[in-house]
A and B are shown apart, each in its own frame.
Chain A
């Protein structure tokens, strides 16, 4: 029988440390598939953030470096400027990219750095045990918002993609999710396009991916998928926020 689907070679045969139902494992796989399909593995460097995905280098068989919490896009900027022919991507969570690293994110995007950011938004701090993130939904309970996030006290969830879309250095921003097979396919298309923007030397690109965190959401994996579709998407609508490429999707 013809083999039509298999594990990407760039995804190492190492059991994930991620919790059951976590979105990172799906997104890792998508990143590996795209890099392999675009044949970028010989010239790509990934920059990890702090948080659960700090160990992404255990799974992705690529040149990879760690960065201090929030500094991924500054590190990626230095790397890319020193070696413009290298394809550089960051893999960051919401705490990293939208809280402690907000300045680095905004300015790298605004400079139009030729970098691709994979932004995993699960509305909570995962590794440190479920505290509030800048993207935590209103009324969402976390360990530091035990009564639910209150806009008067904790402000509103930050809509990173909408915010970055306003900056002129940004060429492509799309928000997707990994809560259904259709959305997973959509996420892969977006990741591919974001890398293409960098290959074409156009400017900054980012894919925001709504991703489940069952343990810290205190929901089982299926409920978590449903919660993304029902609740999270209301606050963070999916879609292309900005696309200056003038091209249709890569596929």
Chain B
């Protein structure tokens, strides 16, 4: 199955009852998968919305009604969704948003890039809010993380973004689904469906009371701190004795892994560090690695967006080089290896 369809199937198996989307390449297979497979299921709904803005606001409505709901898009469409994501975050409405990103800015190109890192991890919309951002690097991970995204969204009452890219979305790989679709999940206890037998509920963001506003923001902040403590995830590969560690996420990490293997074959002590959650960023792990390794190479398919988080995490403890390609053209592992080797030898390692 292609990566996009895998996300759709995994969402159905996670109990996603509603999907609202708008066509944009390179994620259309996901929208089409939901049109074909989700709408067949009892009590489930698919709508091709009139816009990305409408789609994300339909997500808002379905989440109000207490069901698992998803939308997906790609870079320019994600810009349109930001208004809704800000409201979802403010109202603490669980939701899953998939960004199969492309190269930008503007309309850009439909081939892979990682140029939405800032937008996904730093907020994107207005206000002081965060979303959990997961960065898969294989089709199997697309399946696993889609399921995980729904669980995280419900646990923390937060929008969760899966940030992948055109290559992953279109890639075909064997995949194992670990869950069967549930019959029907119970409606979330906070749902708005009418006030029968209980006091009415209000879901709002607007307040003219500054202290109330401050308390809402404090409450969100405390939740974000908890997520930082509990949900930060990363993967390391051959870092124990590494003289230089490549830092990369998503599809770039996949390429970097090949480069690291080849480097090892040539006797270079190189490792890989891959953030799995881009927010919360695994800063502590970077800092810990810096106790053993002095040199880092940040590799991204953009011009250094995650680099800022790596530098912040290192806080001067290690030296970080950067290799970026602004998207569209995917470098091969051997190109990345050349960059690794250059820094490796220039620093007199060996």
Of residues 50 to 93 in B, which have CB atoms within 8 Å of A's CB atoms?
Answer: 50-51, 53-55, 57-67, 69, 83-84, 87, 91
B194 contacts across to A, CB distance below 8 A: 40-45, 62-63, 86-87
What is the total number of residues of chain A having a CB less than 8 Å from a CB of chain B?
39
User: A82, B18: Cβ atoms under 8 Å?
Assistant: yes
- Given known A62-B200, A66-B206, A83-B193, contact A78–B50 (CB-CB < 8 A): no
B17 contacts across to A, CB distance below 8 A: 82
Q: Is B107 part of the binding interface, using a Cβ–Cβ cutoff of 8 Å? A: no
A54 contacts across to B, CB distance below 8 A: 206
Q: Which of B45, B87, B193 contacts A86 (CB under 8 A)?
A: B193
Compute how far the CA of A68 lies from the CA of B205 in the bound complex, rounded to whole angstroms: 9
The chain A residue with its CB closest to the CB of B58 is A78
User: A81, B195: Cβ atoms under 8 Å?
Assistant: no
User: A78, B202: Cβ atoms under 8 Å?
Assistant: no
A79 contacts across to B, CB distance below 8 A: 61-62, 64-65, 192
A63 contacts across to B, CB distance below 8 A: 192-195, 200-202
Q: Which of A45, A77, A81, A104 contacts B192 (CB under 8 A)?
A: A45
Compute how far the CA of A39 lies from the CA of B177 in the bound complex, rounded to whole angstroms: 46
Q: Is B330 part of the binding interface, using a Cβ–Cβ cutoff of 8 Å? A: no
Compute how far the CA of A47 lies from the CA of B58 in the bound complex, rounded to whole angstroms: 12
Q: Is A76 part of the binding interface, using a Cβ–Cβ cutoff of 8 Å? A: yes
1/0 per residue, CB under 8 A from B, across A36-72: the answer is: 0000111111011010001101000111111110010
Q: Which of A41, A57, A71, A77 contacts B47 (CB under 8 A)?
A: A77
Compute how far the CA of A204 lies from the CA of B314 in the bound complex, rounded to whole angstroms: 57
Q: Is A241 part of the binding interface, using a Cβ–Cβ cutoff of 8 Å? A: no
The chain B residue with its CB closest to the CB of A76 is B61
Q: Which of B69, B91, B204 contacts A78 (CB under 8 A)?
A: B69
Q: Is A103 part of the binding interface, using a Cβ–Cβ cutoff of 8 Å? A: yes
Which interface residue of A62, A63, A66, A82 has the most chain B CB atoms within 10 A?
A: A82
Compute how far the CA of A57 lies from the CA of B192 in the bound complex, rounded to whole angstroms: 13
Q: Is A99 part of the binding interface, using a Cβ–Cβ cutoff of 8 Å? A: no
CB distance from B83 to the nearest CB of A (A): 6
Q: Is A189 part of the binding interface, using a Cβ–Cβ cutoff of 8 Å? A: no
Q: Which of B51, B55, B197, B204 contacts A65 (CB under 8 A)?
A: B204
User: A57, B65: Cβ atoms under 8 Å?
Assistant: no
Compute how far the CA of A184 lies from the CA of B49 in the bound complex, rounded to whole angstroms: 36
Compute how far the CA of A66 lies from the CA of B57 in the bound complex, rounded to whole angstroms: 11
A82 contacts across to B, CB distance below 8 A: 17-18, 45, 61-62, 64-67, 69
Q: Is A186 part of the binding interface, using a Cβ–Cβ cutoff of 8 Å? A: no
Of residues 275 to 299 in B, which have CB atoms within 8 Å of A's CB atoms?
Answer: none
User: A57, B202: Cβ atoms under 8 Å?
Assistant: yes
- Given known A75-B61, A81-B62, A82-B67, contact A57–B204 (CB-CB < 8 A): yes
User: B58, A45: Cβ atoms under 8 Å?
Assistant: no
User: A75, B64: Cβ atoms under 8 Å?
Assistant: yes
B59 contacts across to A, CB distance below 8 A: 78
User: A78, B195: Cβ atoms under 8 Å?
Assistant: no
Instruction: Name A's B-contacting residues (CB within 8 A).
Output: 40-45, 47-48, 50, 54-55, 57, 61-68, 71, 74-83, 85-87, 103-104, 106-107, 111
> Which 4 residue pairs spanning A and B have beta carbons closest together?
A78-B61, A78-B58, A74-B57, A42-B196
Besides A43-B193, A78-B61, A87-B194, 10 other A-B contacts (C-beta < 8 A):
A42-B197, A43-B196, A50-B206, A64-B192, A65-B91, A67-B87, A77-B61, A78-B18, A78-B20, A82-B18
